[in-house]
Amino acid sequence: MIPPLVDRRAVLATGAALPLLASCGPAALGKKPSARRAYADTHVHLFNAHDLPIGMFMVEILFGQGDAPPFLKAIVDYLLRGVQKFADSATAERRRIEGGAALAKSVGTLSPETFGADIAYWATRDPGAEKDANAELPLFANEGERDAAYAELIEAVVADSRGTSLDKVRKRMGEGPGAPVAKAEIQRAFADLARRAENSDLPPPGTKLFDGGASIKKSGGVRCDSGCSDTGFSRSIGAIIRYFGWGYLMLKSREHHLTKYLALAAGQREQPTLILNHLVDYDAWLGVPPRRGSAHVEQVAVAHALAGKYRTGGRRRPGVEIVTFAGFCPLKHALEAKAGLPRALDAMLALGRDKVAGFKLYPPMGFRPSGNKELRNDAFDPRSRYRAAHFRRWRAALAGQGGGKEIGSAIDAALEEFYTTCAKQGIPVMAHAGPGMQAGPDFGQRANPHFWIDVAERHRLRISLGHLVNSAEDFVCALRAGGDPPKCVWALHAGRTLLDPTNSALKATVYGDLAFMPELIESPALAVEFFKGLHAVFGVKDPALTRITYGSDYIMLGTMKDYDEHLSVMRAAMAKAEYTSEQVENILVNNARRFLSG
């Protein structure tokens, strides 16, 4: 029987509620104990902008297909230069760590002040003073278009820094949109933005920027009459600030991300004992090769160096076990096999399990976990003016006798080899299982756990579905409504089937994590309602809840205000939902170990 659910209309989930979190957050649900509480985090990203095709990532994934708005082009244009100037390559950072360099040295010269000064210089420079250095992703047709884009970005950041509206900023500048802003004012505003990003003090979210834009702000509180969450991106000042704030943080070192994560956990009296670090391999899908010094094998190497440094702890911090999941890209594997090239998978396997504990799949790049051969070649076209040539190369490279379905068939063959290898060697597999972060039209739907059922029925694998529940609001609303849940609430369809330990049709053992759920931070009442529903759904066949794990999705979660309270809110909500100590311990500690080691 489903526990009684709270009236959704009574749940505060608007952006205006965020300042009240100090009074309605974890402290309101239960006092923090004095001793640190142990937990395992199965979903962490310790990469930086040098590891990602950051420009294409933001233009094609964060904002989806279509022409990017001017302010985004300015953000991307600057970050591509910032990567060159500030971001450590994986190899450079590994050498510093192995050489015993202090963290301050590995962070380099990037600070809020240097960040503000650099963007002020770049935004106000004489166009003829130096050659445009951004050859990775040309975004502007001419200097006039570039200057207009930077003006839009500057207006938004200055307005936010002053605590006023765009119109008032333009009025003070006297000329309306595009009017010049003093260099000192630009420097001050962007330095302020960077400090706020470092202090987790960015504007209220309004939208989930890193999950396809699914809304977590609904006027009048949380309602159950609006269908599943909408997708899209926000052009609000707050959203612009958060996009750029995230970009600033991504210029920092990987060790900076880790030390900040550990410090924030300590501030909440929490202690991670196990961290699963997820790397991603987007190169083939986005058509951007790795930067020098940050190839995937080099990313694994710096992660291994970090794990070694922090395993034993120090005078002021306990040790933590960090294990890395390398990215696996079936498109890259198929292209390598067709061309007779050395395969990335073999290189990762050769590193050994102490460096690569498992693999991470990212279906929203454009592939299904199974059944790709059902799709015609054109279904893999990202419909992007930036990547049209890449798609033509895939199609030409994989051409054969597939009747127009060669790409999908090649991807299925690559995945089948991958699954067989992982099953034989006992290697766990993590998969992004949310619809967001897609690299093409409707590619996010290919992450549906439905496509894992065939895999789970045929392969004796350990699989973890990242983002098991994509929206707590949609989940609890579907439970209230009863009957057949909406197809968009994946956890109530294939998710429920795959996480059922009594399902004898499955050879695989499937887990699911609760990563990136900022809506629970916004509304502790929603968090309680959610955990009651979670128990009602998954506890029927699995009373001890042995298949659900905790995940933060840090550093992506780091864009959300008060994100350090993510775990504390969940603990308090589980207590209010009357979870047993065994259930809590399984979700927060034991299940992660089971997934990792079997």
pLDDT tens, residue by residue, 427-454:
999 999 998 888 888 999 999 999 999 9
Residue range 289-298, pLDDT digits in tens? 999 999 999 9
Higher pLDDT, residue 583 or 564: 583
DSSP letter assigned to residue 307: H
Q: Say which residues have a Cβ less than 8 Å from residue 573's Cβ, sequence separation at least 6.
A: 29, 520, 524, 527, 528, 530, 531
Structural domains in the chain, sorted by start? 35-95+244-597 (3.20.20.140)
Treating both helix axes as pointing N-terminal to C-terminal, what angle do 90-98 and 296-311 enclose, rounded to 10 degrees?
30
Taking the whole predicted model, whether its pTM rises above 0.85 is answered as yes
Q: Given this model, what pLDDT does residue 452 score?
A: 99
Residue range 27-73, pLDDT digits in tens? 444 444 468 899 999 999 999 999 998 888 877 776 665 566 788 88
DSSP letter assigned to residue 215: B
Are 180 and 172 in contact by the 8 Å Cβ rule? The answer is no
Residues paired with residue 429 on neighbouring β-strands, in sequence order:
359, 463
Q: Given this model, what pLDDT does residue 241 score?
A: 79
Highest mean pLDDT among 31-35, 117-121, 238-242, 566-570: 566-570
**248: number of Cβ within 10 Å:** 25
Q: Say which residues have a Cβ less than 8 Å from residue 517's Cβ, sequence separation at least 6.
A: 469, 472, 530, 566, 570
Question: Residue 385 in 3-state DSSP?
Answer: coil
Find where tokens 């004095």 sit.
34
- Cite the DSSP H helix spans in 361-507: 388-397, 406-425, 453-458, 472-481, 494-498
pLDDT at 568 over 90: yes
At 25, the pLDDT band (50, 70, 90 cuts) reads: very low
pLDDT at 198 over 50: yes
pLDDT at 89 over 60: yes
Length of the chain: 598
pLDDT at 397 over 60: yes
